[in-house]
Structure 1
């Protein structure tokens, strides 16, 4: 075993039953000042080493006696989803390499390997980790809370939050129910100069048409039958801070007119009042509806839409970033362990596979609720499928079919052919193809460019 020690280095764990390859790896990579290196001769030893010192990257041979590389990969992915795993394989193990990619491997390297290939893969992962570190830093600074993810769509979202947070610009957040739109709005507020002022979330869909104007803008005493005293509305409450109007597509046309005035002039009137109220509030809105269709149907004002749609952020549905599910499962498991005082440490592999394959129509909110329920029903230290809601236990999950007739011989050619076939099968829908292949969309896009795959 060879170890180099320097602060803030990337820690590599190399797993191979052949001592010659372990020695070659240490010799080739030992001079790289960016890394520290440990080696293990088998999977169980590697797992014990990870318990005492967490690696950033694990490189494991595919074919090993006892616990093979796929099994080790699955176990690492279950216990430590943040670790990058590279699979080492021979040219005659194409189908196993494809299976490894489906199981969550970051990439593969052909044996015998050369130092240039190793360094290129290391550089890719270091760049990836740099983005992750920035995201983690951003989450700590901006209280991203449940905005957890490594998918390229989440990187794009985090970067958007960083860029627009310090401005005073109006933001429209689009996304399905349960994707975390309020958390995105709160993160934007936390990145702004208003961070020390109030953040006021308002669910517009929960306000009745008769009371929404009063709730948003307040009312004067005697404005209507039950108005026994003046009431301050949400906009006055948010003075100097940020107001978040969720489900903006639900507000009636009369309220839309008043909201447009706030956006254009920064003023409004309380219901039943004549005093012009000046307000300094940043406005962030969100919707899960097609506002363009609502404009065509004349139920949403066109001028208001263009005032709101200055900058748009998209909260991706969970089914489009399934590679993030193990991260989210572990995040929620830690959260609900703390809240319940339990010490559940594992999710069994069959259950994790089901969680990753399920479509999650309710998105992150549904996943959070499912984990909370499972923690409540779990008497031991390991979550199993029986602890989850019945609809998840009995859901029909589509199996991924990789029984392709391959004509190529080399591993890169086979990978290119597999990717091409899946892309054609999914009509070049990158999200669906990446899901079928079990890789991130960004990885798929890079491989399409690398292999020069074109649409027929």
Structure 2
């Protein structure tokens, strides 16, 4: 819902305009002075301001630059009792998009209200249509990411299975979507299922569907995600968590392009592209008899191994700058970039949470930042793993295990809460311990 701020010192006018805005289906806030308006803008996202010139504490036109510094992406319409060309020119030069001369008809106000807000919606739709897709959505110029992009292009040209591997937060789903969106011709739909979040009892029905009466609650037949993804891409995230008894059925789907619903006796043919992803070592799972070797080799026709962020060099800065511009726009903050110290801290940080950690850190910094430049001061000992020459060197797996134990200790061993913080499934959490 679009939001409107009415800034005028006349209480009766504020009340009347509030009723009009609400009747049109928009949310509305009011202020009687420039100071009140600025306080509202500090804590509320506003799309359109109707701003009176003759406020008790400031000239409305003089307030426009300050408003724009706080929230650049909003529209301002001036309310004025002066019907002269100079006032109009001054208002438009300062950054207003229109003005209304008092006294005015409510019909005129309603017309401008709807015109401006509809134009904003159109601009947002146009922006969404130009959102980067396919390979354009993959940011990175490091040698490792060049190899990843070339493999994505190759994978998009064929229908063979793809196995994307990498640590948590490295962008495995983004790669899967890039493969799907880079295909020539009709892409079909992209359907994702997280094999780590569904119970063994539910995942087969979710994947393959079920016939009416297949089990107690199966009151009608249901299509599974495999059927829904027909002609498109099925993305199996955390494939290492797929139950052993379902793995032969997935293998059959890959090899024969057929499956059966739960409780069904009829084979259903389907043309589907399968992309699987894992942050686990599947060869280790095979050695522990937790994953089928034949399924692994059938999925691993086109392997894509994503490098951890700490090994991607200047990609850290490229990604950070992309997130900065994204969140500065979304949160309406006038952040210009990173300070020299901020850039240094970005490159020195270990980023064990990879791109997801970087994204969340930039968002937090922008929310709490009061200036134009991000210093990245939050990257302190709480977020960085600091070692000395005397500290014993341990494997990445051991470092990960220690961090998980630290998180569990902070949440009183609540595994569900720890899994949400780490953004992994409870099954993955148990395996990593």
Q: TM bucket by the smaller chain? A: 0.5 to 0.7
CA shift in 2, pair 1:367/1:207, >3 Å: same
Compare CA radii of gyration and give the structure with the larger one: 2
- Contact 1:220 1:271 survives alignment (8 Å): yes
User: Which residue of structure 2 lines up, in the alignment, with residue 213 of structure 1?
Assistant: 204
Q: Please report the TM-score for the alignment, with normalisation by the length of structure 1.
A: 0.54
2:150 to 147, 150, 159: 159
Post-superposition, which runs of at least 4 consecutive aligned residues in structure 1 deviate over 4 A?
387-390, 396-400
Distance across 2 between alignment mates of 1:337 and 1:271: 48
What secondary structure sits across from 2:248 in the alignment? helix
- Contact 2:335 2:371 survives alignment (8 Å): yes
Distance across 2 between alignment mates of 1:326 and 1:244: 29
User: Which residue of structure 2 lines up, in the alignment, with residue 202 of structure 1?
Assistant: 193
Deviations 1:323-352 (A, max 9, x none): 211111100001111211222112122122
Structure 1: 5+ residue runs without aligned partners?
A: 1-138, 401-425, 427-456
Distance across 1 between alignment mates of 2:362 and 2:252: 44
What secondary structure sits across from 1:328 in the alignment? helix
CA shift in 2, pair 1:287/1:153, >3 Å: same
Structure 2: 5+ residue runs without aligned partners?
A: 1-130, 394-433
CA shift in 2, pair 1:396/1:245, >3 Å: closer
- Contact 2:135 2:182 survives alignment (8 Å): no
2:237 to 234, 239, 246: 246
What secondary structure sits across from 2:196 in the alignment? helix
- Contact 1:375 1:387 survives alignment (8 Å): no
Distance across 1 between alignment mates of 2:221 and 2:385: 55
Report the Cα offset of residue 188 of structure 1. Answer: 0.7
Report the Cα offset of residue 272 of structure 1. Answer: 1.2
Aligned 1:53-68 pairs, distance under 5 A: none
Deviations 1:170-223 (A, max 9, x none): 111111110000110111111213653101121111111111101110112222
- Contact 1:204 1:212 survives alignment (8 Å): yes
1:288 to 279, 297, 310: 279
What secondary structure sits across from 1:243 in the alignment? strand
User: Which residue of structure 1 lines up, in the alignment, with residue 314 of structure 2?
Assistant: 323
User: Which residue of structure 1 lines up, in the alignment, with residue 134 of structure 2?
Assistant: 142
Distance across 1 between alignment mates of 2:351 and 2:152: 25
Alignment partner of 1:338 is 2:329: yes
Distance across 2 between alignment mates of 1:330 and 1:160: 25
Distance across 2 between alignment mates of 1:292 and 1:202: 22
What secondary structure sits across from 2:184 in the alignment? coil
Distance across 2 between alignment mates of 1:336 and 1:235: 35
Q: Please report the TM-score for the alignment, with normalisation by the length of structure 2.
A: 0.57
User: Which residue of structure 1 lines up, in the alignment, with residue 227 of structure 2?
Assistant: 236
Q: Aligned pair count?
A: 260
CA RMSD of aligned residues (A): 2.2
User: Which residue of structure 2 lines up, in the alignment, with residue 279 of structure 1?
Assistant: 270
Alignment partner of 1:356 is 2:354: no
Deviations 1:242-284 (A, max 9, x none): 1111111100111101101101111111111112111100001
